[in-house]
Amino acid sequence: MTTAETGAAGGARSPRYRPIGDYALIGDCHGAALIGSDGSIDWATLHRFDADPVLCRLLDAGRGGFWSLRPRGAHTAARAYLPGTNMLRTEFSTASGCVAVTDFMPVGRRLDAGVNDYVHLNAPAWIVRRVEGLQGSVELETAYRPSCEFARRRLTLVAEDGALRAGAEMPTLFGDLAFVVDGDCAHAGFRVSAGDRRDLVLAGNAVEGDPPTARVDEFFAATRAFWEEWIAYCRYRGPFEEAVRRSALTLKLLTYAPTGAIVAAPTTSLPEAVGGQRNWDYRYCWVRDSSFALYALAVLGYSGEAQCFHEYLLRAIVRSLPEVRPMYGIDGALKLDEATLDHLEGYRGSAPVRTGNGAYLQHQIDVYGQMLDLSLMYQRLGGRLAPQYRRLLAAVAKFVAAHWREPDQGIWEMRGPPRHHVHGKLMSWVGLDRAARLLGGEWTGLAREVADDIRAHGICPKDGALQQAYDGSTDAAVLLAPMLGFEMASGMLEATIARVRRVLGRGDFVARYVGEDGLDGEEGAFLVCTSWLIDAELAAGRVDVARPMIERLVSCANDVGLYAEEVDTADGGMLGNFPQALTHLGLIGNVINLQLSERQGTAAVQGSYADRARHAVTATFGWRGVLAAMWQSRRFARVWSSKRSKLPWP
C-alpha cells in the first residue's frame, strides 16, 4: 500500500520526480508506458520502443509530457497486475469511496495466427485507462500534456467531439469528459460512483467509425486472454514461481514483436547515480544478452520467442559482418549514433539525456564468442545449422582467431583506453571452443592456447583469483567462467568468489568493477552481478549459500515484481533504466540453476549454456513435464483452442 499526497491535477504538490522503483510497466510488444503509483503515466512510446516518447515527464518534470489520473484530495493507492497479465489495476481509496483504474495497452494474436502462435501479434498502439466505481462516490481529476520531439516542440491541444487532438502526427486522447484546455495541457474533473465505468483511450493510430472507447470491452477481453494464455505455457514449477512468471511476462513485454528483438530496457537516460552523467539509451538489443535470453526462453518453454529472437540476431549480424556489433536496433539497424538532448534537465537533474548509444561502435571481442555460444545452444535445442549458417560461424571464428590477442573495451563498454579484459579472453575461448564443437576440431588447438593465456596472465598471483584484466583490478564478469564451461584449477573458483565479495561486495549486492573507466561519477550495485555471484556459488556446490541470496534478490523487486539495472546501496532505491531485461534474465537463470543443482547435483549447472539448457529441457521438464505443467494450468483448454486472444485490428 502506498500513500499519495493531496494535490492538483498534474501533480502540483506531488514530488517533482517519483522514485524509479515506483513505476509499473505496461506494453503491447511494440511500445511501452511507465505508470507511477500516483496514477501518472510519465513515460510512453507508441508503435516502437525507440520512438520519440509521447510522454516523457520522467526526464524533465517541468517540460515533459504526462497523463495523470487520480482522486481529488487525500487518498491511498494499492496496485497489482491482474493475475497472469501485464494489465495494471490500481485501487484508490478515499474518505468517500473507492475506485479502480485498470491500465493496459491492447495486444493480441493476429487473426491468421496458428493455435500455438504467440509471436505474430496485432496492436493498435493504444493506452487504455478504465475507471470503475467500487464503493461510494469519488471525485477524480485527469490532466494530459503530450510530448513532441522529446518536449522540444510545444503543442497546442484542441478539444472537440469527445477528443483531445494535438496535430496529425500526435496521438488523440478519447474520453467523454469536459476538458479545459490551456495551451499544451488539458484538465478535467469527473465523479464515479459504485457500478459506474469510464473509459479513456490514448490512440496512436487513426480510427474510423466508432470511437476507440466503444471497443474497450472487446480489446480488454482479448488482451487479458492473450497474457493469460501466454503465461500458461510457462513450464517452470517450483520455488520462487511467481517471481519467475512475472519476469517472463516482463521479458515478453520487452520483446519487439515485428522482429523478435528484446530491448535491454524501454527507457533512456535513467541515471546509474542521481545527478551523475552515466545515463544511456537502452532501447536497443545487446548481443551479449543473447545467451541469457535464449536460455531463459527455452527452458521456460517459449520456443516461438526463442526462434524469433535467434533469427533477428542472425539477420542483424549478417548485415554487419565481418564485425559483430555490441548492439543493434530493434529492426536490425546498424547505425545508433549518440546525441544529447540539452533542453531536458534529466531525471532529478541527471543530465545529459541521451538518444542513441555510441558504444555500438566499440570493439568488444566478447560478442563474437556470444554469437558462437548462442549457435551451439540453438543447435542443442533442435535448431538446424544450414550450410550458409555454418559459413557465417566459420567467419566469426576466424575473426576471433585473428583478434583475440588485442585489447578491447570490455563487457561494460568503458569509455577509457582498451585493455586485455579477462572476460573478453574468456569469451574468445568460448567462441573457439564452440566453433570446434559446431564445425570440427580445427579450432581446438587455438581454444587451448587462449585458455593457457588466461591462466598465465589473468590470474592474480597473490590470491589465485581471476582478475579484471591482465594488468589487474577486480570485475564481477569473471564470475561467469564456470557457467561458460571454462576449466578452473582447484580453488580458483572459490578464490574468485572470495575476491569479488571482498572488493565488490556492497551489502547484499555486488558492484560491477573497481578502477578508472573513463567516466566521471559513481554508480550503484548491479543486480545482474548479484545473479552471477549466485550462479558461481551454485557452481561451487554451495546451494545453502545461494538459496538465501535468491530470496534476497526476489525480495528487492518493487511492489509489482519489477527490477531496474542497479540498486542504490545507501537507501535501497532503484537506479538505471527500468525495468531491465538482463536483471530479470539473471533471476530466471538463478532459479532454474538452483532447481537443476538440487535435483541433479552441481555438475548439472556447470558447463556451457547449451549443456544446462539440454539438462533443463530434457531432464527437468521433458515432454511429460511439459504436459504435466499444462494440465496443472486451469487454462489448459484455452491454450489449445481459444480464439479470444486474437485481436481484430485494424
CATH code at position 39? 2.70.98
Q: Work out the burial of residue 402: count CB atoms within 10 Å of its CB; fewer than 13 is exposed, 13-18 middle, 19 or more buried.
A: exposed
- Binned at pLDDT 50, 70 and 90, residue 355 comes out as very high
Are 634 and 642 in contact, with CB atoms under 8 Å apart? no
**What is the H or E stretch that residue 636 is in?**
helix 636-641
- Residues 138 and 253 occupy one common structural domain: no
> Residue 8: which domain range?
2-210
* 273 occurs within a structural domain: yes
Half-sphere exposure of 11 (CA within 13 A, CB side): 25
- Residues 204 and 254 occupy one common structural domain: no
* 487 occurs within a structural domain: yes
pLDDT digits (tens, 9 = 90+) for 90-142: 999 999 999 999 999 999 999 999 888 999 999 999 999 999 999 999 999 99
- Binned at pLDDT 50, 70 and 90, residue 4 comes out as very low
- Give dist(CA 454, CA 72) in Å, integer: 63
Half-sphere exposure of 626 (CA within 13 A, CB side): 14
Query: What is the chain's Cα-based Rg?
Result: 25
- Give dist(CA 162, CA 33) in Å, integer: 23
**Domain-terminating residue out of 188, 210, 232:** 210
Q: CA 45, 47, 49, 52 torsion: positive or negative?
A: negative
* 327 occurs within a structural domain: yes
* 400 occurs within a structural domain: yes
Are 458 and 472 in contact, with CB atoms under 8 Å apart? no
Q: Select the more confidently predicted residue: 631 or 444.
A: 444
Q: What is the CATH number of the domain that holds 527?
A: 1.50.10.10
- Binned at pLDDT 50, 70 and 90, residue 619 comes out as low
- Give dist(CA 427, CA 413) in Å, integer: 15
The pTM assigned to this predicted structure is: 0.94
Nearest to 553 by CA among 523, 577, 588: 588
When pLDDT is averaged across residues 530-543 and rounded to a whole number, the result is 97
Q: Which amino acid is at 353?
A: V
- Residues 199 and 303 occupy one common structural domain: no
- Residues 473 and 585 occupy one common structural domain: yes
Number of domains in the chain: 2
- Residues 275 and 352 occupy one common structural domain: yes
Could you give the C-alpha distances from 561 to 24, 81, 247, 409, 592, in angstroms and in order?
A: 9, 9, 8, 33, 18
Cell, residue 263? 530491448
Cis? peptide before 579, omega within 30° of 0 = yes
Q: Give the range among 8-17, 228-237, 285-294, 468-477 with minimum mean pLDDT.
A: 8-17
* 647 occurs within a structural domain: no
How many other C-beta atoms are found inside a 10 Å radius of the C-beta of residue 138? Answer: 27
- Residues 154 and 277 occupy one common structural domain: no
- Residues 534 and 470 occupy one common structural domain: yes
584: helix, coil or strand? helix
- Give dist(CA 325, CA 54) in Å, integer: 29
* 472 occurs within a structural domain: yes
Cell, residue 543? 546451494
- Residues 193 and 245 occupy one common structural domain: no
Nearest to 282 by CA among 572, 65, 582: 582
pLDDT for residue 336 is more than 50: yes
**Domain-terminating residue out of 210, 232, 265:** 210
- Residues 201 and 317 occupy one common structural domain: no
Percent of the chain clearing pLDDT 70 (strictly above): 94
- Residues 308 and 397 occupy one common structural domain: yes
- Residues 259 and 327 occupy one common structural domain: yes
- Binned at pLDDT 50, 70 and 90, residue 554 comes out as very high
- Give dist(CA 564, CA 355) in Å, integer: 19
pLDDT digits (tens, 9 = 90+) for 362-399: 989 999 999 999 999 989 888 888 898 999 999 999 99
Could you give the C-alpha distances from 527 to 475, 498, 510, 549, 578, in angstroms and in order?
A: 14, 18, 7, 12, 12
**What is the H or E stretch that residue 252 is in?**
helix 241-253
Percent of the chain clearing pLDDT 90 (strictly above): 77
* 326 occurs within a structural domain: yes
User: Which residue do the cell numbers 477481453 mark?
Assistant: 221
Instruction: Give the pLDDT confidence score for residue 566 in this predicted structure.
Output: 96
110: helix, coil or strand? coil
- Binned at pLDDT 50, 70 and 90, residue 47 comes out as very high
- Residues 245 and 189 occupy one common structural domain: no
* 104 occurs within a structural domain: yes
Instruction: Give the pLDDT confidence score for residue 642 in this predicted structure.
Output: 65
Neighbouring-strand partners of residue 26: 33
